[in-house]
Structure 1
Amino acid sequence: MEVILLERVAKLGQMGEVVRVKDGFARNFLLKRGKALRATADNRAKFDGMKAELEARNLKAKGEASKVAEKINGRNVVVLRQASETGQLFGSVTVRDI
């Protein structure tokens, strides 16, 4: 099935590209989550109209992510966990620990 990507999808393509994927992947993942549209003539015309809006949304999300990255960058986090004598942790550090 050919689909038009509405956003960047890892290992598949960038926004606006028309790619061929397996039918199940398109139906169960891309179309269901709103990441793609079927590549019909009507949807191609619809996408051309939506392209500016989608690009603005992507730029806004990228800007918000960069603000968060600036806020976090350079911070030190101290986590108290049980470790061996050589300094290796017995468990993992999760988001909940931070």
Structure 2
Amino acid sequence: MAKIILTHEVTGLGAPGDVVEVKDGYARNYLIPRSLATPWTKGAEKDITAIRKARKAREIATLDDAKAVRDSLQAKPVVVSAKAGDSGRLFGAVTTAEIADAVKAAGAPAIDKRKVEIGQPIRALGEYKVSVRLHADVAATVTVKVVAA
């Protein structure tokens, strides 16, 4: 078992700054190469406080703040523009990063692209429902309107 420090939120494992033990292969082949974690050392222990401070500055602090952001996001659709053909089919698909940028442009706090959950790939113009995890206990269902660029 490998002891690691998470640098990003990993679903089912923990939040940034948490020290967890995972199987060696999972740490070596998945978490560390994707910069989701760093190996635990005595020297790296001091990095945990810096990671936790950065996380607190980025995340939505309280449950009430998360609910307020959820209400504002659900009130109006988020518009994403993408290149599309004559039939309304997109060249490619709308990504979670594009949706996170559109949410930020709509006036909400910056949201990590990994917190945006798309059920099926968005490959055509129209309106879609997308889930955004704002807090551990709060998720918003956002209407994403895809328009031709």
TM bin (shorter chain): 0.5 to 0.7
Pair 44,94 (structure 1): closer, same or farther in 2 beyond 3 Å: closer
Q: Please say if residues 19 and 40 of structure 2, whose CA atoms lie closer than 8 Å, have aligned partners that are also in contact.
A: yes
Tell which structure's C-alpha radius of gyration is larger: 1
Mapped partners of 1:15, 1:24: distance in 2:
20
**What TM-score, normalized by structure 2, do the two folds share?**
0.41
Mapped partners of 1:45, 1:38: distance in 2:
13
Mapped partners of 1:24, 1:58: distance in 2:
30
- Give the match for residue 52 of structure 2: 51
Within 5 A, what are the aligned runs for 1:28-43?
Answer: 28-43=29-44
Mapped partners of 1:37, 1:53: distance in 2:
16
Letter in 2 for 1:26: A
- Give the match for residue 95 of structure 1: 122
Deviation for aligned residue 1:57 = 3.1
More strand by share: 2
Mapped partners of 1:16, 1:54: distance in 2:
8
Percent identical: 31
Aligned residues: 76
Mapped partners of 2:5, 2:123: distance in 1:
38
More helix by share: 1
**RMSD between superposed Cα atoms in Å:** 3.1
Give ranges in structure 2 of 5+ residues lacking alignment. Answer: 61-65, 79-87, 89-119, 126-149
Q: Give the match's secondary structure for 2:14.
A: coil
Give ranges in structure 1 of 5+ residues lacking alignment. Answer: 74-79, 81-92
Deviation for aligned residue 1:94 = 4.5
Structure 1 runs, 4 residues or longer, greater than 3 Å off: 68-71
